[in-house]
């Protein structure tokens, strides 16, 4: 199934694929091997290329963004290409969008986070970018790049938020163990050579036999009754 302009972004839901090239969004039926064009990524007509955005809402529904030149419209569209619900609107083109049903969260270029309700298409909350604080440790910046949904959530007590959300350094390279001292290596080598020499000359057997006799003598002394007067 050729796409002459090339696919830039694609999201799949079931056997349907919503894909965007440089100009248009397309819907692809993977089972029927058919495709049809839908909404343009930019309706401004100024030749400016916008980054396409596709969000899966359900098995039969996607959210796509279209720039009008004055604002961005979020269109809920079915796998048949029909618009449903209402539309969402942002004053600029969002940098990142994610779904946390029933909410759509978007990060705007000015670092503001807008939260819309899918059911009512109304703006629920707008979180302004945090002000820079160079005196904090580490410094807090207002560089928001992307918003991501997490299945398990992320909970931080409000009274401990400022301390628990601070960045901490994490070492990625483990410290190497200290090398064996040269003196210890020399001592080990000397001991090994002495044992080899003793084995060759037969002295090792003599030393081992004498050590065994000393051990037996010690056992005899320990077995001697202590209450016998010599």
Q: pLDDT tens digit string along 49-97?
A: 899 999 999 999 999 999 999 999 999 999 999 999 999 999 999 999 9
18 & 89 share domain: yes
127 & 50 share domain: yes
When comparing pLDDT for 205 and 188, which is higher? 188
Percent over 70 (pLDDT), the chain:
54
Distances (CA, A) of 145 to 67, 111, 128, 187: 20, 8, 14, 60
Range of the domain at 190: 182-222
15 & 127 share domain: yes
Local confidence band at 33 (pLDDT 50, 70, 90 cut-offs): confident
CA pair distance 47, 30, nearest whole angstrom = 31
32 & 118 share domain: yes
Percent over 90 (pLDDT), the chain:
40
Q: In sequence order, what DSSP letters do the residues of 167-218 get, joined into one string?
A: ------SPPPPPPPPHHHHHHHHHHHHHHHHHHHHTHHHHHHHHHHHHHHHH
CA pair distance 210, 49, nearest whole angstrom = 93
When comparing pLDDT for 188 and 54, which is higher? 54
**pTM of full prediction above 0.85:** no
Give the least confident one: 20-24, 67-71, 145-149, 215-219.
215-219
What's the pLDDT at 119?
93
Tally of structural domains, the chain: 2
Please report whether residue 158 resides in a domain: no
What is the domain-level CATH number for residue 55? 2.40.128.630
40 & 120 share domain: yes
Neighbours of 16 (CB within 10 A): 21
Please report whether residue 119 resides in a domain: yes
Please report whether residue 29 resides in a domain: yes
Dihedrals φ, ψ of 182, to 5°? -65, -35
Local confidence band at 224 (pLDDT 50, 70, 90 cut-offs): very low
């Amino acid at each position: 199934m050729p796409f002459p302009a090339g696919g830039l972004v694609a999201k799949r839901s079931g056997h349907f694929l919503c894909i965007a090239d440089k100009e248009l969004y397309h819907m692809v039926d993977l089972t029927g091997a058919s495709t049809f064009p839908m909404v343009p990524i930019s309706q401004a007509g100024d030749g400016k290329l916008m980054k396409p955005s596709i969000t899966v809402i359900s098995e039969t529904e996607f959210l796509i963004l279209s720039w009008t030149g004055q604002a961005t419209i979020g269109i809920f569209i079915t796998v048949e290409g029909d618009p449903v619900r209402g539309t969402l609107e942002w004053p600029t083109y969002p940098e990142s969008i994610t779904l946390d049903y029933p909410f759509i969260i978007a990060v705007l270029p000015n670092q503001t986070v807008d939260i819309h309700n899918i059911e009512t298409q109304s703006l629920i909350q707008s979180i302004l970018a945090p002000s820079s604080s160079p005196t904090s440790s580490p410094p807090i910046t207002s560089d928001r790049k992307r918003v991501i949904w997490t299945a398990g959530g992320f909970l931080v007590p409000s009274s401990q938020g400022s301390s628990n959300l601070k960045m901490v350094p994490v070492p990625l390279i483990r410290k190497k163990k200290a090398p064996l001292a040269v003196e210890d290596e020399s001592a080990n080598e000397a001991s090994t050579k002495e044992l080899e020499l003793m084995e060759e000359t037969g002295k090792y057997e003599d030393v081992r036999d004498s050590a065994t006799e000393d051990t037996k003598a010690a056992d005899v002394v320990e077995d001697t009754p202590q209450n016998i007067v010599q």
